[in-house]
Amino acid sequence: MQAECSKPNKWLAALWRVIPLLNVLLLGGLVYLPVSVTPWPVVWLYTRTMWLTEPLLMVAEVILLLNYVMRMSQHGADEIEQDEDSSYKYKGAILLFSSLCYAVVASLAYDMYLNATPSQVLCLFVVVFIMIAAHNMMLMAHEGIISDCAFFCLLSTTIVYVMVVETSQISSPLTEPFLWTKSPIAKSSVVNIMHSILHMTSSNAQRSILFLKRFFSPLFMGLLAVRLYSILFIVNKVTRNFFQDDKDSPHSFEVTEREDFEEFTPWKSPLLLRLSIIFMLTQMSGQFLEEWSGQTSSIAGLSYLASVSKNVWPGEILIGRLFQVAAISCFYMWRLYRADDWTWNPWLTPE
């Protein structure tokens, strides 16, 4: 019996030693295959998915950012009311955060006033008018918090500043490297691409470095982080609502459903996290590569309307960014208008 039991163990041990070698052989075979072996219908569907979700994610990301700060401010206000002894800590944090937001707003606005085009400066003045209206509504609302209004001003000004930077990059495009435009990358293998990179000229290498510098710029990395947060938040809410028990209260789960939900949340599921990162990188890199190459002429986030509107719409005004400003303005003012009977929507709560 012991001899019979030891035979499977030996087979398993031998298989365990062979698996790393198989992985090496598989990797060696993959590097010689074409980079893109995905069928064109899948590529077409994935491209259209990115194309359609871009405007929705642009609006969602700014609303979710403002929603997060508003929830934190509400938490601080509740702590101030419940514990008066330690209220000075929360009051000081709210005042410090608000002061930093206003300081950044003033710095960005001054820089845009000096360097932006006349139409962009006009957009800045419109945003300033909206911020003044938001402050008036905050003072009239019974539950208006200064940190919410300060972050709303910061977010609105930052959106206009990003628009100024994007249009500046569109108007001064980078020359694409020869490897990107002439060589059939989709039909090349990883080995062929690495060989082309190692033998490229110094001028092509400098062009590639310029693109890489923009990829690793603080602005682009910050936009990537915001987009990733919004995608993970949405995926988290979709998975939670999928596993939620409708028979009970909105926040109750069955034991088995709760365990399944914990496994499929993007914060704990490596698969969902990887898919979210891949989708975010392909969507954002594709959009900004077009802008850096000067291919997007007038609209960020709604590039499919660019060919129609470039003759009637100024090229330095991006409709996608204006939609973002309008979205957070409506959301924040609606929050102030409903201050007396406000309840947090389940889709806007992280729990």
Render pLDDT for 231-240 as a digit per residue (tens, 0 to 9).
888 888 877 7
Task: With cut-offs at 50, 70 and 90, classify the pLDDT of residue 300.
Answer: very low
> If you average pLDDT over residues 164-191, what whole number do you get?
70
Say if 314 falls within a structural domain: yes
Please check whether residue 56 is in contact with residue 131, taking contact to mean a CB–CB distance below 8 angstroms: no
Whether residue 303 is predicted with pLDDT greater than 50 in this model: the reply is: no
Residues 312 and 169 in one domain: yes
Q: Given this model, what pLDDT does residue 307 score?
A: 45
Instruction: Please tell me whether the overall predicted TM-score, pTM, comes out greater than 0.85 for this model.
Output: no
- Any domain includes 10: no
- Greater confidence (137 vs 20) lies with 137
| CA dihedral for 297, 298, 303, 304, sign (positive or negative) | negative
pLDDT at 141: 77
Residue 1 included in any domain: no
**Residues 6+ positions from 53 with CB-CB distance below 8 Å:** 283
Q: Do 185 and 74 have their domain in common?
A: no
Residue 22 falls inside a structural domain: no
116 and 221 co-located in one domain: no
pLDDT of 9 higher than 60: no
Cβ pair 162, 144 in contact under 8 A: no
Same domain, 54 and 167: yes
**Co-location of 125 and 225 in the same domain:** no
Q: Of 95-104, 121-130, 177-186, give the lowest mean pLDDT range.
A: 177-186
Please determine, for residue 267, whether its predicted confidence score (pLDDT) is greater than 70: no
Please check whether residues 97 and 169 belong to one and the same domain: yes
- Looking at per-residue pLDDT, the higher value among 107 and 73 belongs to 107
Same domain, 55 and 68: yes
Claim to verify: residue 167 and residue 309 sit in the same structural domain: yes
288 token code pair: 């900004």
Per the model's pLDDT, the better-predicted residue between 243 and 285 turns out to be: 285
Q: How sure is the predictor about 299, in pLDDT bands with cuts at 50, 70 and 90?
A: very low
Q: Are residues 189 and 332 in the same domain?
A: no
Domains identified in the chain, total number: 3
Q: Are residues 207 and 243 in the same domain?
A: no
Does 183 share its domain with 231? no
Inter-residue contact 179 to 197 (CB < 8 Å):
yes
**What pLDDT was estimated at residue 190?**
59
Q: Determine the average pLDDT of the residues in 120-128.
A: 94
Q: Write down the pLDDT at residue 128.
A: 95
Q: Tell me which residue range forms the domain holding 185.
A: 179-213
Task: Yes or no: say if 230 and 62 are a contact pair by the CB < 8 Å rule.
Answer: no
Mean pLDDT of 177-191: 59
Residue at 41 is within a domain:
no
CB 156 within 8 A of CB 130: yes
Task: Assess whether 54 and 156 both reside in one domain.
Answer: yes
CB 141 within 8 A of CB 70: no
Query: Is residue 189 helix, strand or coil?
Result: strand
Last residue in a domain, options 243, 270, 293: 293
Q: In the beta sheet, which residues pair with residue 189?
A: 34
Domain end point (choices 293, 314, 336): 293
